[in-house]
Amino acid sequence: MESSPPPEEEGGIRGRVRTFDAFPKVAPTYTTQSSQGGLVTILLGLLCTYLIWTEMGSYLAGVEDQQFVIDDKVGWDMQLNFDITVAMPCVTLHVNVQDAAGDRLLAAELVEMEPTDFDLSSTHELTIDSRSEAQEDDDLRTVFQRAKAAKKFAKTKKMHHPMSPACRVYGSIKVNKVQGDFHITGKNFAYGDRDHSLLSQDGLNFSHVIDEFSFGEYYPKLENPLDGVAAIIDSHMFRYQYFLSVVPTTYVGYGGRKVIHTNQYAVTEHPVARVSPIQPPGIFLKYEIEPIGVMISERRVPFLQFLVRLVNVIGGVVVCTGWLFPIIDGLWEKHWVKRGKSVPNVTQGILDKGLKRDD
């Protein structure tokens, strides 16, 4: 039968375990509790809570990475979306697409052309400010939220008269992913039309409103530089040109769970008052596909790295507070001493208004 250790030996081991501490503490007899110290502790806790909340928000929001990639899909099909209102009747318009491969697409047979009114209430001119606002980078969360909208065009206000004041041309068509030209021209002024009884020169008016012009899958809430742009043309024989530089863009959510393949573009306008049989009047949107694309992806720092950052931030605040406040407290005491308000054996500082012991 084993014998139990003596009470003195057992008490000594337990006492050593209780008093063992890797971080030495000040003895309780040399500390003084005060309301100022409690206030500093509360402020320190609030600051640490705020920093923890901020770091958590940064970790959950993630970090966006933007990198250029070589677009190896040149020659594939690409979707072209447009919603343009022209101040001419629908029966007087040609709508076509012609690309660098030599293919010509009769877009008028594939899209909707509906009579409507010419409304300028919610439009603006294409300026440097409007281009820069449309090119502003949104975070991925905003992009994914906007892309959830219904992928269809709004209805047109019904007008059954064939010679209505304007024509709305809208829809989505497949085009070759090469340099191309989308244009709207007047009949009898392009493609060798000879029926001059339908439209005269005085009937040309290529004033227009562009509500949508985009490449790729149709997301009506994703803004493009030409969205909401209007141009008023006073001359009949006028050629209005837009030059677009299209950059394939891919948005990738965290972990690859959400992916959006779309395109963004830069645009410049070039109105031409002089026209010829080679360059007939109309609206011409010339686009060119850039060989380099952009991939915008979302990532988060590893969880262990996040914990290390969190510990560093909180530990740094605590350590700096422990160094800073005693210094301020000492300067505060010296300030009162210089003003002759000190009391023997009594000091009144920021953190301590108690009595100091003589021993």
Residue 199 domain-assigned? yes
Verify that 199 and 312 share a domain, yes or no. no
What is the pLDDT, as a whole number, of residue 170?
92
Residue 21 domain-assigned? no
> Which three-class secondary structure state does DSSP give residue 49?
helix
Residue 242, domain extent: 66-299
Note whether 283 and 206 are within 8 A (CB): yes
Verify that 48 and 156 share a domain, yes or no. no
Verify that 49 and 115 share a domain, yes or no. no
Verify that 114 and 173 share a domain, yes or no. yes
Choosing from 283, 299, 315, the residue where a domain stops is: 299
Side chain identity, residue 322: G
Residue 109, Ramachandran bin (φ over 0: left; ψ between -120 and 50: alpha; else beta): alpha
Choosing from 265, 299, 333, the residue where a domain stops is: 299
Residue 261 domain-assigned? yes
What is the pLDDT, as a whole number, of residue 14?
59
CA 251, 252, 258, 261 torsion-angle sign: positive
Verify that 306 and 213 share a domain, yes or no. no
Mean pLDDT by 10 residues, the chain (359 residues): 52 59 60 64 82 81 78 74 91 86 74 87 71 62 76 72 82 88 85 62 86 86 85 86 91 80 88 76 91 84 82 84 74 65 45 45
Verify that 314 and 294 share a domain, yes or no. no
Please name every residue paired with 80 in a beta bridge, in sequence order, or none if there are none.
Answer: 173, 215
Verify that 100 and 183 share a domain, yes or no. yes
Number of helices (H) and strands (E) in the chain: give both, helices first. Answer: 5, 13
Verify that 153 and 226 share a domain, yes or no. yes
What is the pLDDT, as a whole number, of residue 31?
61
Rounded distance between C-alpha atoms, residue 310 and residue 313, angstroms: 5
Verify that 139 and 288 share a domain, yes or no. yes
Domains contained in the chain, number: 2
Phi, psi dihedral angles at 157 (to 5 degrees): -65, 125
Verify that 282 and 354 share a domain, yes or no. no
Residue 158 domain-assigned? yes
Verify that 107 and 216 share a domain, yes or no. yes
Verify that 90 and 200 share a domain, yes or no. yes
Phi, psi dihedral angles at 15 (to 5 degrees): -65, -40
Angle among Cα 62, 264, 241 to the nearest 5 degrees reads: 160
> Which three-class secondary structure state does DSSP give residue 351?
coil
pTM of the model: 0.65
What is the pLDDT, as a whole number, of residue 168?
92
Residue 11 domain-assigned? no
Residue 250 domain-assigned? yes
Choosing from 299, 324, 343, the residue where a domain stops is: 299
